[in-house]
Amino acid sequence: MSLSSYVLVVILSTGLVIWLSRIIPFVLLKQFKLPAIVVTFLSFVPISIMTALWMESLFVQHLGQLPTLNVPNVLASVPTLLSAVLTKNLLVIVIVGVISLGLINGLM
């Protein structure tokens, strides 16, 4: 399998663009101070993204029909949410989620 120069240029330029799009905001934000209202607004972005990803995994979409519940994910969410409320520790939450989903998938 040979790697043509065109494919190599595409891979390298794509990597450069992705790297620059992640580095430039950090460099610019070191130079400027964001207003408090913007910082407060941005603090809600991670929880919004995680909620959207979680809700999306709870439902199975069917073409032309209403979505149905993904029962294993819903069942695994219960102990995971409980561990999130009790510990507020991301490592514990992830471990409980993975183990509970593994046990539920193993039993079903």
By the 10 Å C-beta count (0-12 exposed, 13-18 middle, 19+ buried), 1 is classed as exposed
By the 10 Å C-beta count (0-12 exposed, 13-18 middle, 19+ buried), 54 is classed as middle
**Domain residue ranges in the chain:** 1-32, 42-107
pLDDT band at 36 (very low <50, low <70, confident <90, very high): very high
pLDDT band at 33 (very low <50, low <70, confident <90, very high): confident
Looking up tokens 């999130």 gives 84
Q: What is the predicted pLDDT for the residue at 71?
A: 93
pLDDT band at 1 (very low <50, low <70, confident <90, very high): low
Please state, in angstroms and rounded to a whole number, the distance separating the CA atoms of residues 90 and 83.
9
pTM of the predicted protein model: 0.62
> pLDDT for 78-101, tens place per residue?
999 999 999 999 999 999 999 999
Closest to 58 (Cα-Cα) out of 43, 46, 76, 44:
76
